[in-house]
Chain A
Amino acid sequence: MLHHPSPTPFQLAVTVNGKLVEREVVTHLRLMDFLRDDLGLTGTKEVCGEGECGACTIIMDGQTVNSCLILAVEAQGREILTIEGLADMDALTQLQKAFEDHHAVQCGYCIPGMVLIGEKLLERTPQPTRAEIKYELSGNICRCTGYHKIVDAIENATDKHA
């Protein structure tokens, strides 16, 4: 029997960075807010909040998505990887090391999204061209680096992946 609704709780069960998380959320909560505020995973950033900038990029069921454009309830039963789940601080991925080596980070706010996009690209295309890298990064905005060093980092990491 369905009743007239009011602001509604929902029992969410989602795997985040390899661990099953069960929490009560309200149905209109965004996935990004769930990750940042409920789970404290603040590596996922909010900038524009409308899918224009890519700072809130996460990987859900193997695909890069903007967590600001998804309700937490839509993640029910799914697997999420955030930047925190990619590697331990003392064992960075080849791509993360390449970002360091190429000084591809200035303020750093866009970098979690850039790294996750880069990791998925390299998984699919281990040695992408610069054009392929730029195409893949087109949903991620950086206001510091001018992009060249980010593209350099992804391009250089591919040699190590090969």
Chain B
Amino acid sequence: MKYYCPKTLAEYFDLSKSIAAFDVSVIAGGTDLVPRYERGDHLPDYLIDLKHLSEINSIEVDDDSIKIGSLSTIQNIQDHSLIQEEFGALHSAAYDFAGAQIRHRGTIGGNICNASPAGDLLPPLYAFEAMLTLQGPAGERQIPIGEFILGPGATDLRVSELLTGVTLVRKGYQSLFQKVGLRQSMAISVLNLACVFEGKHQAPTHLRITAGAVAPTVVSLDAFCEAYKAAPGKLSELLGLIDEAISPIDDIRATANYRHTVLKNLIKEILKN
């Protein structure tokens, strides 16, 4: 396994082109990749370390949006004051993310490209309708996060392409994040959810609720949210729409039935308060 550490995107694309015939992996934080190698996963011919690509390592804010470079660490996100003020659910997900050592290494780009059904940053990013920027040898494209993640560990990332940025539009919505786990830190979520809203919970003018670890990818509970906005007084009758939208499994962390019940209870509590 040869190791390379390009300093610019141009250098990355040149390198990537020159070794296109080989088995190539990229590494960002490495918090998922390194233990996989240690467990005996196949080593690629080439490993390209992205951490020195300063072009994709910053968080930029303008009047309308915030663009988070894909190499931003979970700690960078937790520490960013505008994210805390305007994208509270994303801040909370970063705050609750693993432990300090992993927050210092893990990146937002890695959390997205890993495409874990339980990834804690994902429900907030879906709820804020994050737009991803991907750069490849042929140029740049934009894609909503919900179209990029295809299934557990599967994405629309093309050969030699890099996820370079995550853009969130500053709409001034309120938001919250909740996770259910055996403990608040470290434990992989039994389920997690983000709620983005405007107005009062009991009568929101905007409402988007997304949930993780209840289906192969994060689920946006759009039918439920629309029905609730139209008839907030009928919350109890509408909860069945949540059951219809999710397809959790029984696994070592919880049963499918438990996830159905807990998700509905959490949403009920959020909307009542």
- 15 new A-B contacts, CB < 8 A, other than A5-B2, A64-B101, A66-B102, are A2-B19, A5-B1, A27-B2, A49-B35, A50-B35, A51-B98, A65-B101, A65-B105, A66-B101, A68-B38, A69-B31, A71-B34, A71-B47, A136-B100, A138-B99
B101 engages A138 (CB within 8 Å): no
Bound form: Cα–Cα A5–B22 in Å: 9
B19 engages A140 (CB within 8 Å): no
B34 engages A76 (CB within 8 Å): no
Tell me the interface secondary structure of chain B in the complex: loop
B35 engages A64 (CB within 8 Å): no
Q: Which residues of B lie under 8 Å from residue A73 when comparing CB positions?
A: 3, 49
Q: Which residue of A50, A68, A74, A136 has the most chain B CB atoms within 10 A of its CB atom? A: A74
CB distance from A140 to the nearest CB of B (A): 7
In the assembled complex, 9 residue pairs joining A and B whose CB atoms fall closer than 8 Å, in A order, are A2-B19, A30-B34, A50-B38, A54-B99, A65-B105, A68-B38, A69-B31, A138-B100, A139-B185
Q: Which residues of B lie under 8 Å from residue A8 when comparing CB positions?
A: 1-3
Bound form: Cα–Cα A36–B35 in Å: 17
Q: Which residues of B lie under 8 Å from residue A10 when comparing CB positions?
A: 3
Q: Which residues of B lie under 8 Å from residue A65 when comparing CB positions?
A: 101, 104-105
A5 engages B45 (CB within 8 Å): yes
A69 engages B19 (CB within 8 Å): no
Bound form: Cα–Cα A154–B197 in Å: 40
Given A57-B101, A69-B34, A69-B102, A139 contacting B186 (CB threshold 8 A): yes
A70 lies within 8 A of chain B by Cβ: yes
B186 engages A76 (CB within 8 Å): no
Q: Which residues of B lie under 8 Å from residue A51 when comparing CB positions?
A: 31, 35, 98, 101-102
Q: Which residues of B lie under 8 Å from residue A4 when comparing CB positions?
A: 22, 45
B1: nearest chain-A partner, CB-CB: A27
A120: nearest chain-B partner, CB-CB: B100
B6 lies within 8 A of chain A by Cβ: no
A117 lies within 8 A of chain B by Cβ: yes
Q: Which of B76-119 contact A (CB under 8 A)?
A: 98-102, 104-105
Q: Which residues of A lie under 8 Å from residue B100 when comparing CB positions?
A: 64, 117, 120, 136, 138-139
A70 engages B30 (CB within 8 Å): yes
Bound form: Cα–Cα A128–B247 in Å: 43
B22: nearest chain-A partner, CB-CB: A4
A103 lies within 8 A of chain B by Cβ: no
Bound form: Cα–Cα A54–B31 in Å: 13
B261 lies within 8 A of chain A by Cβ: no
B5 lies within 8 A of chain A by Cβ: yes
Annotate B12-49 by CB proximity to A: 1 below 8 A, 0 otherwise.
Answer: 00000011001000010111001101100001011101
Q: Which of A80-137 contact B (CB under 8 A)?
A: 117, 120, 135-136
Q: Which residues of A lie under 8 Å from residue B104 when comparing CB positions?
A: 63-65
Bound form: Cα–Cα A104–B161 in Å: 49
B187: nearest chain-A partner, CB-CB: A52
B99 engages A28 (CB within 8 Å): no
Closest 5 CB pairs of A and B: A139-B99, A138-B185, A50-B35, A5-B2, A63-B104
B5 engages A76 (CB within 8 Å): yes
B3 engages A27 (CB within 8 Å): yes
